């Protein structure tokens, strides 16, 4: 193999343009063998007593080169794929993940880790935390079980993998089994031109005349939101709620089986239930606590929720007369959209001219520079994977290089969808007293420039850029000496705090003034337009929140209170009935008896763990970001001292301390959900 394989020699200036698909497998085989040897040596009984450095630090570093190379391959496959690269990635990925998941099951390593834990070595707080987390991680993977227990756990995992895959396939197949073709143009009444064009294109692709609609997200949402024909909306709604709930794609039995297996797994490992197993390493710590959090939010949302539902009925009466019935489940989105248009008259397109991409990015950097005391410097001429990519350095106030990153904002055929941040290399303080710079990337699929004009973004797209940049700062500003605890390697319900908090600056006039300017006239957003945008933000916010809370509550209830017996007693039926009855309280309309949306809830059941017991995290993180931003509100949204505090107590700390302690250090108290309620317009502030 050539010695100059760039995947074997990664440093902070990655030569993206020199990496070829043919180098992937040779490099990863070398790195896998290297990591394997290191792990074997670590697992062997040593001649001298083990220390933290010889065991834990060595374990932390053992897989670094392998993981960095794999991250880079995965990254390139995501932004500049080719059939060769995809094949190489598909070949490498299972080998690497199999190796990584074998580590906590290695008996020699488990013994080694326990020896260090039992030792009397003087350790720093970060070292103690890493040691404890390593011990816990091994335990949670079954390191402490006897052979029979390990065998049983293995059987549970194998079955879970198999049936959660089947669950996903059933959802996909039953979604694809539905189509609805309209051939009479009059029946399209109500739909916006974009949805009609998409349906036309869809029909053409299938060699059909007319307009073809499906249960896929955009098509389904367009029908439910806009189509005037209520009978057709009902047909779509019922079909969607029955997805994967009947033969030949029936998931109802699989849901029960997945819950049973997860419960067995939790019991084997010594937990009361699956939620406690999953949440032990999260900020919420226990299932019951996460559930309590959701019920508490629901109690503050329900009055407004009922009010919104009464308003919608009144709106319908105004349109159709006093005898019009309450909106059915398939009517809610339709009337809500009509009401939104009448009340708010806010068109997202109106603000685009104020958000040219280069200006938004410059403004965002300026805000981060003054808040966090850093400098972001563009580095033209770096090796990149596409001409559209920009490279930057992040420097500390004294000029020290903290990290480099690359931005890649527009769609391409060779790039996957969505927006994301990825860590390509995790740096931090080095043993010699120096500092190893981080490397990260931020990607999106934002509106492209047309002609000579810059790309003009929607406000939501501006939020997306700020969001991913927040993740990037969490990565690039990390000063954690332990790689596994650095940057964004934090609890799942904490990781969105640095990203979501950045979105707040997209709503503050003071901050908007720095970057929201008309791309031709340089005028700021007219105050009336900004006010309309802010008002539209809270439209039916209680309904949106109740829906999320309902999903989170069903998720936790199923994973906490799982006893086939108990829910049968409560509902006299199956898990499908149980889920429907629970969801009913969070729905603005009656759920029909055949409603079985739990059968297509892929978030919860599409892989052995998936988001099972974790759906609440969305709301949890929103509470954190709204409340943390409250300190900026109180002290000045551009106050550099507050910014420095956020940098020192959150952005630099990764998982080196308990996130609850980090939060308290920044905010001076426990998180308070009132800031979120206020942001959603669910709180009248008189009481405070
Ligand atoms: Zn995020």
In tens, the pLDDT along 496-516 reads 999 999 999 999 999 999 999
Residue with tokens 């008259």: 345
In tens, the pLDDT along 46-76 reads 999 999 999 999 999 999 999 999 999 999 9
Cα–Cα–Cα angle for 17, 20, 21, rounded to 5 degrees: 140
- Pair of tokens at residue 200: 């036309």
Find the helix or strand (DSSP H, E) in which 472 lies. helix 459-476
Using the mean position of ligand 1's atoms as its centre, give its distance from the Cα of residue 626 in Å: 15
In angstroms, how far apart are the furthest CA atoms of the chain? 88
Strand partners, 212: 181
User: What pLDDT sits at residue 686?
Assistant: 38
CA 525 to chain centre: 31
User: What pLDDT sits at residue 685?
Assistant: 43
In tens, the pLDDT along 71-118 reads 999 999 999 999 999 999 999 999 999 999 899 989 999 999 999 999
Find the helix or strand (DSSP H, E) in which 219 lies. helix 217-226
Using the mean position of ligand 1's atoms as its centre, give its distance from the Cα of residue 602 in Å: 19
> In residues, how long is the chain?
688
Q: End-to-end CA distance of the chain, in Å?
A: 69
Rg (CA), the chain: 27
Using the mean position of ligand 1's atoms as its centre, give its distance from the Cα of residue 500 in Å: 7
| SS3 at position 129 | helix
CA distances for 666 relative to 475, 478, 637, angstroms = 18, 16, 15
Supply φ then ψ for residue 374, to 5 degrees.
-120, 175
Using the mean position of ligand 1's atoms as its centre, give its distance from the Cα of residue 614 in Å: 15
> How confident is residue 298, by pLDDT bands cut at 50, 70 and 90?
very high
Say if CB 681 and CB 541 are below 8 A apart: yes
The percent of residues above 70 in pLDDT, for the chain, comes to: 98
Q: Is the pLDDT of residue 2 over 60?
A: no
Q: Is the pLDDT of residue 587 over 70?
A: yes
Using the mean position of ligand 1's atoms as its centre, give its distance from the Cα of residue 467 in Å: 6
- Pair of tokens at residue 469: 């940049």
In this structure, what is the dihedral angle of CA atoms 422, 163, 254, 242, given to the nearest 10 degrees?
Answer: 60
315-324, 450-459, 646-655: which has the minimum mean pLDDT?
Answer: 450-459
Using the mean position of ligand 1's atoms as its centre, give its distance from the Cα of residue 625 in Å: 12
CB atoms within 5 A of ion ligand 1 belong to 499
Q: Is the pLDDT of residue 349 over 60?
A: yes
d(C-alpha 479, C-alpha 59), whole Å: 19
Cα–Cα–Cα angle for 184, 187, 191, rounded to 5 degrees: 125
Say if CB 137 and CB 205 are below 8 A apart: no
Q: Is the pLDDT of residue 425 over 80?
A: yes
Using the mean position of ligand 1's atoms as its centre, give its distance from the Cα of residue 499 in Å: 6
User: What pLDDT sits at residue 688?
Assistant: 35
Cα–Cα–Cα angle for 105, 169, 249, rounded to 5 degrees: 125
User: What pLDDT sits at residue 562?
Assistant: 72
In tens, the pLDDT along 661-688 reads 999 999 999 999 999 999 999 986 433 3
Relative orientation angle of helices 21-43 and 64-79, to the nearest 10 degrees: 150
Say if CB 485 and CB 126 are below 8 A apart: yes
Using the mean position of ligand 1's atoms as its centre, give its distance from the Cα of residue 175 in Å: 27
579-618: burial string, b at 16+ Cβ within 10 Å, e else = bbbbbeebbbbeebeebbbbbbbbebbbebbbbbbbbbbb
User: What pLDDT sits at residue 347?
Assistant: 83
Using the mean position of ligand 1's atoms as its centre, give its distance from the Cα of residue 502 in Å: 11
CA distances for 412 relative to 21, 409, 417, angstroms = 19, 10, 9
- pTM above threshold 0.75: yes
If phi over 0 gives left and psi between -120 and 50 gives alpha, with beta otherwise, what is residue 169?
A: alpha
d(C-alpha 228, C-alpha 64), whole Å: 57
Say if CB 427 and CB 480 are below 8 A apart: no
3-state helix, strand, coil in the chain (%, to 5): 60, 5, 35
- Pair of tokens at residue 203: 């029909």
In tens, the pLDDT along 135-186 reads 999 999 999 999 999 999 999 999 999 999 999 999 999 999 999 999 999 9
User: What pLDDT sits at residue 101?
Assistant: 87
d(C-alpha 626, C-alpha 223), whole Å: 33
Averaged pLDDT score across all residues of the chain:
94
Using the mean position of ligand 1's atoms as its centre, give its distance from the Cα of residue 453 in Å: 29
Residues annotated as catalytic (active site), given as ranges = 468
Using the mean position of ligand 1's atoms as its centre, give its distance from the Cα of residue 564 in Å: 35
d(C-alpha 274, C-alpha 270), whole Å: 10
Using the mean position of ligand 1's atoms as its centre, give its distance from the Cα of residue 619 in Å: 13
């Amino acid at each position: 193999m050539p010695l100059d394989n760039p995947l074997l020699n990664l440093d902070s200036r990655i030569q993206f343009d020199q990496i070829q698909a043919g180098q992937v497998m040779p490099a990863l085989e070398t790195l896998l063998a290297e990591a394997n040897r290191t792990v074997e040596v670590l697992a062997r009984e040593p001649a001298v007593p083990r220390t933290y450095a010889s065991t834990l630090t060595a374990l932390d570093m053992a897989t670094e080169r392998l993981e960095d190379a794999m991250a880079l391959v995965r990254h390139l496959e995501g932004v500049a794929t080719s059939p060769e690269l995809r094949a190489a990635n598909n070949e490498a990925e299972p080998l690497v993940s199999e190796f990584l998941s074998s580590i906590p099951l290695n008996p020699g390593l488990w013994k080694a880790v326990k020896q260090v834990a039992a030792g009397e070595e003087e350790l720093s707080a970060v070292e103690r935390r890493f040691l404890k987390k390593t011990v816990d991680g091994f335990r949670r993977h079954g390191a402490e079980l006897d052979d029979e227990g390990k065998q049983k756990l293995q059987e549970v995992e194998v079955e879970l993998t198999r049936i959660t895959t089947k669950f996903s396939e059933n959802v996909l197949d039953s979604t694809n089994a539905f189509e609805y073709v309209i051939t009479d143009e009059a029946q399209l009444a109500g739909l916006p031109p974009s949805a009609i064009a998409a349906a036309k294109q869809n029909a053409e692709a299938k060699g059909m005349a007319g307009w073809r609609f499906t249960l896929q997200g955009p098509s389904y949402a367009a029908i439910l939101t806009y189509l005037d024909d209520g009978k057709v909306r009902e047909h779509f709604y019922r079909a969607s709620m029955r997805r994967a709930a009947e033969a030949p794609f029936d998931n109802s039995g699989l849901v029960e089986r997945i819950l049973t297996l997860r419960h067995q797994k939790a019991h084997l490992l010594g937990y009361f239930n699956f939620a406690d197993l999953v949440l032990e390493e999260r900020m919420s710590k226990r299932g019951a606590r996460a559930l309590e959090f959701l019920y508490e939010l629901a109690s503050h949302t329900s009055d407004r929720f009922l009010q919104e539902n009464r308003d919608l009925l009144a709106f319908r009466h105004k349109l159709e007369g006093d005898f019009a019935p309450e909106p059915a489940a398939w009517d809610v989105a339709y009337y809500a959209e009509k009401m939104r248009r009448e009340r708010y008259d806010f068109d997202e397109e109106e603000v685009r001219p104020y958000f040219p991409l280069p200006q938004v990015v410059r403004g965002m950097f300026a805000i981060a520079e003054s808040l966090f005391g850093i400098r972001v410097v563009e580095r033209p001429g770096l090796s990149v994977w596409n001409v559209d990519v920009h490279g930057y350095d992040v420097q500390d106030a004294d000029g020290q290089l903290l990290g480099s990153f690359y931005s890649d904002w527009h769609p391409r055929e060779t790039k996957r969808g969505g927006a994301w941040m990825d860590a390509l290399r995790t740096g931090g303080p080095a043993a010699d007293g120096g500092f190893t710079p981080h490397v990260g990337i931020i990607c999106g699929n934002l509106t492209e420039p047309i002609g000579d004009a810059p790309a003009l973004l929607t406000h939501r797209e501006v939020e997306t850029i700020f969001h991913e940049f927040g993740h990037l700062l969490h990565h690039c500003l990390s000063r954690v000496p332990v790689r596994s605890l650095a940057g964004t390697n934090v609890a799942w319900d904490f990781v969105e705090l640095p990203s979501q908090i950045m979105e707040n600056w997209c709503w503050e006039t003071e901050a908007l003034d720095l970057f929201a300017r008309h791309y031709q006239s340089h005028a700021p957003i007219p105050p009336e337009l900004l006010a309309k945008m802010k008002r539209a933000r809270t439209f039916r916010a209680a309904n949106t929140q109740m829906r999320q809370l309902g999903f989170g509550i069903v998720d936790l209830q199923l994973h906490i209170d799982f006893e086939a017996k108990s829910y049968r007693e409560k509902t006299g039926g199956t898990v499908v009935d149980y889920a429907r009855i629970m969801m009913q309280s969070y729905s603005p309309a009656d759920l029909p008896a055949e409603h079985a949306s739990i059968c297509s809830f892929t978030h919860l059941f599409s892989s052995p763990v998936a988001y099972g017991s974790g759906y609440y995290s969305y709301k949890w993180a929103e509470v954190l970001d709204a409340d943390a931003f409250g300190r900026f509100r109180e002290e000045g949204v551009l106050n550099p001292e507050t910014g420095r505090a956020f940098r020192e107590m959150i952005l630099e700390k990764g998982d080196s301390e308990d996130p609850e302690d980090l939060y308290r250090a920044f905010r001076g108290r426990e998180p308070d959900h009132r800031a979120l309620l206020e942001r959603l317009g669910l709180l009248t502030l008189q009481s405070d």
